[in-house]
Structure 1
Amino acid sequence: MMDLPTDGKPLKSHLRRISVLVLLLLLTHHCRGQSQLIGSPQPIVANLGDDIILPCYLEPAVNVAGLTLEWTRPDMDPRFVHVMRLGNELVEMKHQLFKGRTSMFTDELKNGNISLKLSNVQFSDLGKYRCFIPKLDRQAFVQLVFASGPASPPVISLSGVDGQSGGVVLQCESAGWYPEPEVLWLDAEGKLLSAGPPETVRGPDDLYTVSSRVTVEKRPSSSFTCRVQHNNTNRTTQTYFHVPDDFFIVPSSCSASVAVSGLFGFMLVIAAVLFVWKWRQTKTGEKKDRSETEERRQLMEETVERLNTDLQRLTEEKRRREEEMKKETQECNKKLLEEKNRGEKELKELKKELNDQLLAEQKREEEARKHLKEQLDQNKEFEKKLQEEKRGRQEAEKELKDLNWKRWRARRKLLDMRSSSRASARRIRTQTRDLILRLTNGANISGSETLPLSTNIWQTGC
């Protein structure tokens, strides 16, 4: 049994706390029971011809082997990349560009893994993919991008001079990267140099332009390397640069004459004279060093200006080449579009020709069916006539049989009549003979007997 609170607090406050705890437990259980579909927060980087995997899985894991699973590209028509239903792929629904190049890990579906394997990656595969489970109403997105590098090595230029250390500031710039690359500075021995964080600018074409600066001091071998590379690919490009020794500024040192104080004033005067003379010599050396420094600075500025001019020329050359490549790409796309239109036109004409042939075949088939139907009707009429003729023949045969039967009966009756007539004739002849015998024998026949005899003869038909 649960003990009631005895601390003097109202019972309603305890019931309110218990209700809140129960509600929190229910919400926690409800949230745990719903799986989330997780994709990739970072774009998947691929090279042309690679086999890559677009990740997508349920967390916590749920068996989805018996559900409908969809991978789509919203920017394509049809949008389906890969569709699974009850563990079987619906090939007829997928876009023709992905036929034979997509697959899923069927053994991992029971673990909630619905990642897609895309083989032989093409430029047309670039885009945003959607992983979707209709029954659970869960979706995730994965972005596929290509690893891109510049068409030319990085450009190193002299950015300035560090007045404090007398070192030279080098700037390295490289454009046309994706994703964002890493910039390294190396000396002649291959050791890393300490440089500030690079500056990265993302252009409208989603490609990165990266630049980095480093301050280098005079060394036995003043050769330096700027290396730009991808962290997750093997794409690397670098440029070597040698800084002449004249570009480095050696700071001048002002040496003051040390005054030697003595106990004697003559030594002080000599020290003062020597100090003044040394100070004038130092000033002359400083002016000479300053003039040499100015000459070096002017030479360095001229070199920087020349390098900047070369950089501008290279930039214009690059822009010109990009415009030429863009024009070539547009012409190629135009030719491809013309080929596509011509192919579609030929396909339409072929479809029309096939449809005409199909209609002609259907028409001939209809005529053949009609002719066959007429033949069948004629055959039916002929069979009907044959049946009627057979029936008439049967009736004629029956009538013939009846006629023969009647003839046979009439003949039989005639024969019977002939037999009866012959019997009557024989009886009459017998009676006549008997009468003649009686008459010829001279019997005494009276008149009374003569009359009945003649009457009898009349009745018999003699």
Structure 2
Amino acid sequence: MMFVHTDTKSPTSPLRALSVLVFLLLLIHLCTGQSLIGSSQPIVATHGDNVTLPCRLDPAEDVTDLTVEWTRPDLDPRFVHVRRSGQELVSKKHPWFRERTSLFINELKHGNISLKLSRVKLSDQGTYRCFIPGKEKLSSVQLFVASDAVSSPVITLAGVDKTTGGVVLHCSSSRWHPEPEVLWLDGEGNLLSAGPTETVRGPDDLYTVSSRVTVEKRHSNSFTCRVQQNNINQTTEAEIHIQDDFFIFLSSSNVPIIIGWAVSLAVCIIVILSLVFLFLKRRQNKTITKRSRSEETEEGEKKKSSKRNKNKGPVVDDLETKRTTSQQNPLLSLDGVQRKEEPEEEVERLRKQLENKETEFKEKQTELHKLRTENQRLKTDLQNLENKLQRKQTDAEREEKRLKDQLESKTKKVKDRGAEIQQLQDQNRDLQRLNQDLENKNKQLERNQTAAEREEERLKSQTKQSAGRVSESQSSQVKSSSSVSQSSTIIVDEIDPEGKYIHLRNLSSEDQPLGGWSIYVEVDNRKPIIYTFDYLRLRAGQTVTIWASDSHTRNRSSTDLVWSGQKSWGPGNQTVVTVFSSSGQEVTTKTFTAKHGS
């Protein structure tokens, strides 16, 4: 067998470069070009109305069979509307949006995935994202919800600033959403310096705002309160006009002083008259009490003296005296008896009243003692109940704190588990999207590869037909052709006929790095086997040999390499070895053809 070297270039090199170029162009087309377009301006909707959140694929493409997701990142779960395999996944969406969201089904074939949101609520305000997992495209839409019943501002006089003599104006407006701002303007439209705006958010999520400002006399004395919300382009205002005489009246510093002195003097006079009246009334009561006691004392003394006179004189003398007196003056005697009997009856009556009062007093004292005893018992019972209640309250607080700690711990665990589950779901979706993309790209690559193989077979067939025209008069010979780029310094120096090694040589005077370079070996037009250099610097004028993994030889040098996992490719009728640089450019090609004549 004889080896013959020829300088003809291999016809498969342009085909290989063309295949690589077509694959790169298809890959670039698959990875770029489309985008999701939402709205660059915020969308404003009125409470209770329907609104459309725009989102479309550009350039347009039919997305009927693709997965479409609308989400709000600040919610949990974040899904607003999910369509997969032509069906809406109601179980994944947030409860706020159930039966309130829909897509335009007839527009999906044109790439329109806009979301219709019905019966808008104040809680719907936020940032929404439309996403197509298969396309890895994302777009955002900002939604503001405006109240449908904003009240006009109301301006009132809140008082007077004593330090400056200015008028304090108060302005308020309610039923706003989103939260507005309050501005004060004078008659010329200049902003006035006002206090901080007070904002109250009600249970219906609507805002009530109020503001105060102190104004002094100006040219027009007209002042405007303006309430506005820039995000929804909504403004309302009210104006008040204050007369000049009102500022003149307030500017007089003597008026408040005179009024203050007058009020103080009137109060002092009323207090003095009240004290004098109380003093006189009390003194009169004391005088009446003393008189009553003096009369009772005199009556008692008269009664005692009368009793003593009766005990001293005999009864006969007394009767004689009475008889004589009665005989001398019958009218005087009768009057004296009556006068004597009246004090005695009065004393007796008073004595009985005193005894009754003493009895009532004792009874009251007894009842008071009982009430005090009962009160003390009730106080003791109340204290015991309070102590017991305090202990129970302390125990309840401890139990409440323990339950809260347990609830927080369990809630934290649930949130952590939920976050883990959500993360796993996201990873699973990402993995599914990647697998789908990989399958699509693999299918496209297979189609491209099939087309390239067909083209390659066609060219190889043409090459065989051209090679058949070579003279068959030679007996047994081996042809070797080599093609080297003019700028290349690396050549295929030798190919083992048995397929055990390949020999490369650096012809230049400088070292050549081979990291990322590849060697393609094709035997008898079969599928090429590829070897890629990880890292190698081939020194100037030196050679390197790449051995098959099953070639057992003892003549290997320290610079030789072993083709891991690749056994000897064996002898063949035609062996083509092509070297490509790290950028994919063909560097050199060498072909060995063995032919046997008759």
Is the structural similarity TM-score above 0.5? no
Larger fraction in strand: 2
Band of TM-score, shorter chain = 0.3 to 0.5
TM-score of the aligned structures, taking structure 2 as reference length: 0.28
Larger fraction in helix: 1
User: Which structure: larger Rg?
Assistant: 1
